[in-house]
A and B are shown apart, each in its own frame.
Chain A
Amino acid sequence: MKQAHAQPPASRRFVRWALGCLVFAATLAQAQTQPPEAAASGVPDTIGQRATACTPCHGKEGRATNLGYFPRIAGKPEGYLYNQLVNFREGRRDYALMTYLVDQLTDDYLLELARYFASVDLPYPPPQTVNAPAELLARGRSLALEGDKPREIPACVRCHGEALTGVRPFVPGLLGLPRDYLIKQMGAWRTGVRHAASPDCMAKIAQGITPEEVAAVATWLSAQPMPADTHPAAPQPASKLPMRCGGLDVPLAGGTP
Chain B
Amino acid sequence: MKWLLRALIGAGVVLAGLAALVAWLNLRGEESIPPDASPASFVSSPELVKRGEYVARAGDCTACHTARGGAPFAGGRAILTPFGTMFSSNLTPDEKTGLGRWSSQHFWRAMHNGRSMDGRLLYPAFPYPNYTQITRQDSDALFAYLRSLPPVEQPATPHQLRFPYNTQLALAAWRAMFFEPEPFKEDPAQNAAWNRGAYLVRGLGHCNACHGERNVFGATSESLEFSGGLIPMQNWYAPSLASSAEAGVADWESAHVVALLKSGTSPRGVVMGPMAEVVYRSTQYLSDEDLNAVATFLKGLPQTPPPAKPRKPIEYDPAQMQAGERVYGKHCAGCHGDSGEGVARAYPALAGNRSVTMASPANLIRIVLNGGFLPATASNPRPYGMPPFLQTLDDVEVAAVATYLRGSWGNEAKPVEPVDVLRLR
Give A residues with C-beta under 8 Å from B.
Answer: 1-2, 4-6, 11-12, 15-16, 18-20, 22-24, 26-27, 30, 34, 36-43, 47, 49-50, 52-57, 67, 70, 89-92, 97, 99-106, 108-109, 112
> Which residues on A sit within 8 Å (CB–CB) of B164?
23, 26, 30
| A19, B22: Cβ atoms closer than 8 Å | yes
> Which residues on B sit within 8 Å (CB–CB) of A52?
335, 385, 387
> Which residues on A sit within 8 Å (CB–CB) of B371?
53, 101
| A15, B18: Cβ atoms closer than 8 Å | yes
**CA A101 to CA B330, docked complex, whole Å:** 22
If A1-B186, A67-B391, A90-B69 are given as contacts, then 15 extra A-B residue pairs at C-beta distance below 8 Å, sorted by A number, are A15-B25, A16-B177, A19-B173, A26-B164, A40-B343, A40-B346, A43-B343, A53-B371, A53-B373, A57-B391, A101-B373, A101-B385, A103-B276, A104-B374, A109-B383
Q: Considering the complex, give the chain A residue whose CB is closest to the CB of B25.
A: A15
| A1, B376: Cβ atoms closer than 8 Å | no
> Which residues on A sit within 8 Å (CB–CB) of B383?
50, 105, 109
**CA A124 to CA B91, docked complex, whole Å:** 51
Q: Considering the complex, give the chain A residue whose CB is closest to the CB of B194.
A: A1
CB distance from B265 to the nearest CB of A (A): 10
A12-B25, A104-B277 given; A56·B389 CB < 8 A: yes
**CA A102 to CA B388, docked complex, whole Å:** 12
Interface string of B149-178 (1 = CB under 8 A from A): 000000000000011100000100110111
CB distance from A60 to the nearest CB of B (A): 11
| A40, B344: Cβ atoms closer than 8 Å | yes
| A24, B390: Cβ atoms closer than 8 Å | no
A15-B176, A90-B69 given; A108·B346 CB < 8 A: no
**CA A54 to CA B372, docked complex, whole Å:** 10
| B370, A97: Cβ atoms closer than 8 Å | yes
**CA A92 to CA B67, docked complex, whole Å:** 12
Q: Considering the complex, give the chain B residue whose CB is closest to the CB of A24.
A: B216
CB distance from B86 to the nearest CB of A (A): 13
> Which residues on B sit within 8 Å (CB–CB) of A54?
385, 387
- Of the candidate stretches B44-52, B54-62, B118-126, B217-225, the one touching chain A is B217-225
| B2 at the A interface (CB under 8 A) | no
Complex interface residues of chain B between 366 and 414 (CB less than 8 A to chain A): 370-376, 381-392
**CA A112 to CA B25, docked complex, whole Å:** 55
Give the B interface residue count (CB, 8 A): 61
**CA A19 to CA B388, docked complex, whole Å:** 45
| A101, B384: Cβ atoms closer than 8 Å | no
| A38, B372: Cβ atoms closer than 8 Å | no
> Which residues on A sit within 8 Å (CB–CB) of B173?
19, 22-23
A22-B173, A109-B381 given; A1·B222 CB < 8 A: no
A15-B18, A43-B335 given; A108·B223 CB < 8 A: no
Q: Considering the complex, give the chain A residue whose CB is closest to the CB of B276.
A: A104
> Which residues on B sit within 8 Å (CB–CB) of A5?
222-223
**CA A81 to CA B389, docked complex, whole Å:** 22
> Which residues on A sit within 8 Å (CB–CB) of B186?
1
> Which residues on A sit within 8 Å (CB–CB) of B391?
56-57, 67, 70
Q: Considering the complex, give the chain B residue whose CB is closest to the CB of A49.
A: B384
> Which residues on B sit within 8 Å (CB–CB) of A108?
381
Q: Considering the complex, give the chain A residue whose CB is closest to the CB of B217.
A: A23
**CA A103 to CA B383, docked complex, whole Å:** 13
CB distance from A188 to the nearest CB of B (A): 16
> Which residues on B sit within 8 Å (CB–CB) of A92?
69
**CA A93 to CA B375, docked complex, whole Å:** 21
> Which residues on A sit within 8 Å (CB–CB) of B276?
103-104
| A19, B277: Cβ atoms closer than 8 Å | no
| B277, A50: Cβ atoms closer than 8 Å | no
| B69, A91: Cβ atoms closer than 8 Å | yes
Q: What are 8 A-B interface contacts by the 8 Å CB criterion?
A: A1-B185, A43-B343, A53-B373, A53-B388, A54-B385, A91-B69, A97-B388, A104-B375
> Which residues on B sit within 8 Å (CB–CB) of A26?
164, 170
**CA A141 to CA B376, docked complex, whole Å:** 44
CB distance from B368 to the nearest CB of A (A): 11
Q: Considering the complex, give the chain A residue whose CB is closest to the CB of B389.
A: A56
> Which residues on A sit within 8 Å (CB–CB) of B22?
15, 19
CB distance from A114 to the nearest CB of B (A): 14
| B80 at the A interface (CB under 8 A) | yes
**CA A175 to CA B388, docked complex, whole Å:** 26
| A40, B370: Cβ atoms closer than 8 Å | no
| B198 at the A interface (CB under 8 A) | yes
CB distance from B261 to the nearest CB of A (A): 14
**CA A18 to CA B190, docked complex, whole Å:** 38
Q: Considering the complex, give the chain A residue whose CB is closest to the CB of B382.
A: A109
| B80, A40: Cβ atoms closer than 8 Å | no
